[in-house]
């Protein structure tokens, strides 16, 4: 009877403002994933760009997002989080208009790079607002389910965009869909009731830890290494599928299966996160990711192609929310934005390195097979470093914190 009362008093998770922010975040990432897989083809077909140039141009987005995320945590913690979210979201949506007027490769590179700034700011502020509106006793679950908004977007976005492009062969249609979707997300966020929390004024001199959470450097390095592999995969898989594997219509299915793996991991992993098994989730995740990239690189047929998608997705979906929870556990309430910004900065840094490095390796050191071998190497390094140092360092820090209490 007592247990039944406790269940009744447990606050709803997918209700009210959390649901609104969750849906808006889906719109944000849908508009992002809708165009991203086809941009390498766009640069090759429209501007005749080679592999190295494609990597250089597309890396600008991640570099810009990385640059703003270094400061976005501080911005989100110091100002009204909802206002920051709305300004970032509106800017992100409007930048899609610029793609209609990219009549040269240089102009496209400038617009694409600048577009990364509002994306970096919006993704940090969106996840921070979501944490603010979550019931405190269900925060672990909420963080786990939060990633599903990205995952569903990854499942639907590339699949739909590839289908539309196959039937209409018009890149401007893709840009229009992304613009409209982002505007819908902006409107939804306008209705969110996020209470303004005055920042804790710190009169100390400005220091690096106001922008980057240095305590999480080892976990952040693991995230960055995984992101290098993902940067290569997400950017070059469409061209690789066509040119190397002769799979002309499989990229959308790959991303759908990748998202299936992510979604499966969230439903299984959230239970363990809510019970405090954070390190275990992260451990299983990094190992699974390394296995998935190995399957993709060495099992070069349809079976390896699609099975690796599920395995990589499952591993990444297990690892990322667990590491994010590690960061939040190490952060005080007034530094949640900084914690979110740090892990996203590490991710963007890795993706940017992956895009540039993958393009260079593909152009000069043996083609796309060599680029995906690079994915295997960095993911294995991440596993070794996490097991040998990052995991132990986090456990030690948490024990010290508990002893201090």
Task: Return the half-sphere exposure (C-beta side, CA atoms, 13 A cut-off) of residue 262.
Answer: 23
Backbone angles phi, psi at 292, to 5 degrees: -60, -45
Q: What's residue 201's pLDDT?
A: 52
In angstroms, the CA 37 to CA 161 distance is 9
**14-195+209-404 CATH choice from 1.20.1250.20, 1.10.150.20, 3.30.70.1400, 3.60.21.70:** 1.20.1250.20
Mention every residue, 6+ apart, whose C-beta is less than 8 A from residue 236. Answer: 40, 51, 358, 359, 362, 368, 371
What's the pLDDT tens digit per position in 109-142? 999 999 999 998 998 888 888 878 877 666 667 7
Its pTM surpasses 0.85? no
**pLDDT greater at residue 384 or residue 141:** 384
Given its phi and psi angles, is residue 213 left (phi above 0), alpha (psi -120 to 50 degrees) or beta? beta
In angstroms, the CA 27 to CA 329 distance is 28
Average pLDDT over residues 172-196: 91
Task: With cut-offs at 50, 70 and 90, classify the pLDDT of residue 2.
Answer: very low
Average pLDDT over residues 333-357: 79
């Amino acid at each position: 009877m007592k247990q039944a009362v406790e269940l009744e008093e447990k606050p709803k998770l997918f209700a009210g403002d959390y649901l609104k922010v969750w849906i808006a975040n889906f719109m944000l990432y849908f508009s992002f994933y809708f165009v991203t897989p086809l941009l390498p083809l766009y640069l090759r077909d429209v501007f005749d760009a080679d592999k190295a140039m494609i990597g250089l141009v597309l890396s600008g987005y991640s570099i810009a997002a990385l640059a703003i995320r270094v400061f976005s945590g501080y911005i989100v913690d110091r100002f009204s989080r909802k206002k920051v979210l709305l300004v970032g979201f509106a800017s992100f949506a409007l930048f899609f208009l610029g793609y209609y007027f990219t009549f040269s490769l240089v102009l496209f590179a400038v617009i694409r790079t600048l577009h990364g700034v509002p994306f970096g700011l919006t993704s940090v502020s969106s996840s921070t607002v979501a944490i603010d509106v979550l019931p405190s006793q269900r925060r672990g679950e909420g963080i786990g389910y939060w990633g599903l908004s990205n995952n569903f977007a990854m499942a639907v976005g590339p699949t739909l965009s590839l289908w539309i492009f196959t039937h209409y062969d018009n890149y401007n249609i893709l840009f229009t869909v992304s613009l409209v979707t982002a505007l819908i997300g902006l409107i939804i966020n306008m209705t969110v009731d996020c209470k303004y929390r005055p920042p804790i004024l710190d009169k100390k001199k400005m220091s690096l830890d106001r922008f980057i959470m240095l305590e999480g450097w080892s976990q952040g390095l693991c995230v960055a290494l995984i992101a290098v592999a993902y940067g290569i995969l997400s950017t070059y898989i469409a061209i690789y599928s066509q040119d190397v594997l002769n799979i002309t219509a499989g990229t959308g299915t790959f991303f759908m299966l990748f998202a299936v793996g992510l979604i499966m991991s969230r439903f299984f992993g959230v239970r363990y996160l809510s019970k405090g098994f954070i390190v275990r989730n992260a451990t299983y995740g990094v190992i699974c990711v390394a296995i998935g990239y190995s399957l993709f690189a060495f099992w070069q047929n349809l079976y390896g192609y699609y099975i690796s998608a599920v395995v990589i997705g499952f591993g990444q979906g297990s690892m990322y929310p667990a590491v994010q929870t590690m960061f939040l556990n190490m952060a005080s309430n007034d530094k949640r934005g900084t914690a979110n910004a740090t892990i996203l900065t590490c991710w963007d840094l890795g993706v940017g390195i992956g895009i540039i490095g993958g393009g260079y390796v593909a152009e000069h050191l043996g083609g796309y097979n060599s680029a995906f071998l690079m994915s295997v190497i960095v993911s294995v390094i991440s596993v070794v470093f996490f097991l040998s140092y990052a995991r132990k360092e986090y456990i030690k820090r948490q024990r010290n914190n508990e002893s201090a209490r």
